[in-house]
Amino acid sequence: MEGLMLEILEDQGYEQAAHLYDLFDRKQNVPFFCHYAGQVNTVLDVGAGTGRVAFPMAEAGTHVVCIEPSPGMRTQLESKLAKRPELSELVTIVPDAAATFKLARTYPLAILSGSFDHFLNMQERLASLYNIAQHLQPGGLLVFDVFLGLMQSSPLSPAGYVQYEGREYRRMVGSQALDNGQIQVTLLFEVYEEGRLIQSIEQQSWTSTVTYEEIHRILVETGFKVKGEFADYEFTPYYPEAALLVVEAICEK
Ligand SMILES: C[S@@+](CC[C@H](N)C(=O)[O-])C[C@H]1O[C@@H](n2cnc3c(N)ncnc32)[C@H](O)[C@@H]1O
């Protein structure tokens, strides 16, 4: 894609609290993505984060190439990998973003778990899926989830409480719809020891909403054909008004 100008923010939303990501993430989508990874020998995990999905895929014997732009998330991924030497041959980390990574081979499968929502405008969505298509084999599969629900401004409210190694972690989440169509999400983490607040971390993150019709247009423009569409990670067929869209698309080159 020529003339690509993407705005890269220094902190795209994960640098302050990457070490707390796994504590709070309870998304039940690991078996879903492992279902696809189990059918291939290598998978591109685009926006792999801390490796929440990448590690189970590697544990099942699939090579995983983790594309991850956030230094904070990569640090978590690297330190988890350092503790799992038996997986070192199976997990590769590439510090880059979906629209810009360049690898010298193609793959049978690419997944995006929770990362498509971070493509902040149509240009970035098109550039990202176009670049992923360049890295897929003909007939290769792209599987990704995207939030289609209405994102409205909402005040900071409690969104999680975890006890871990003698400390209590509380999370609050609020969001603000911006004029440019993006959503600015504020995450506030509080860490308590023996009932006393010892640390407070604020993290800003940005996402953007997209419509079902736009997703289809992007897929056609970047050379994909939709094979399946689900409303959850249990393979329930997608239905209009579902807030989650999970797409299975074939690379048609
Ligand atoms: C919600 S987290 C999901 C992490 C992991 N896939 C999971 O399911 O736990 C979103 C991830 O996407 C990454 N990300 C954000 N913008 C990205 C981009 N343009 N290209 C690739 N990854 C991106 C973030 O750094 C973050 O690690």
Could you read off the pLDDT of 68-92 as tens digits, one per residue? 999 999 999 999 999 999 999 999 9
Closest C-alpha residue for ligand 1 atom 19:
97
Ligand 1 pocket test: pick from 25, 96, 118, 125 the residue with the most ligand atoms within 8 Å of its Cβ. Answer: 118
- Residue by residue, DSSP assigns 96-154 as --TTT---SS-EEEEEESS-GGG--SHHHHHHHHHHHHHTEEEEEEEEEEEE-S----E
Crossing angle for the helix pair 122-134 and 212-221, to the nearest 10 degrees: 40
Q: Among the atoms of ligand 1, which is closest to the Cα of residue 45?
A: 6
Q: Among the atoms of ligand 1, which is closest to the Cα of residue 21?
A: 9
Q: What pLDDT was estimated at residue 108?
A: 98
Whether residue 73 has its Cβ less than 6 Å from ligand 1: yes
Q: What pLDDT was estimated at residue 120?
A: 92
CA 238/CA 249 separation, integer angstroms: 14
Residues of the chain with pLDDT under 70: 1-10
Q: What pLDDT was estimated at residue 4?
A: 46
Q: What pLDDT was estimated at residue 5?
A: 46
Q: Ligand 1 mean position to 194 CA, how many Å? A: 33
Q: What pLDDT was estimated at residue 209?
A: 87
The pTM of this model reads: 0.94
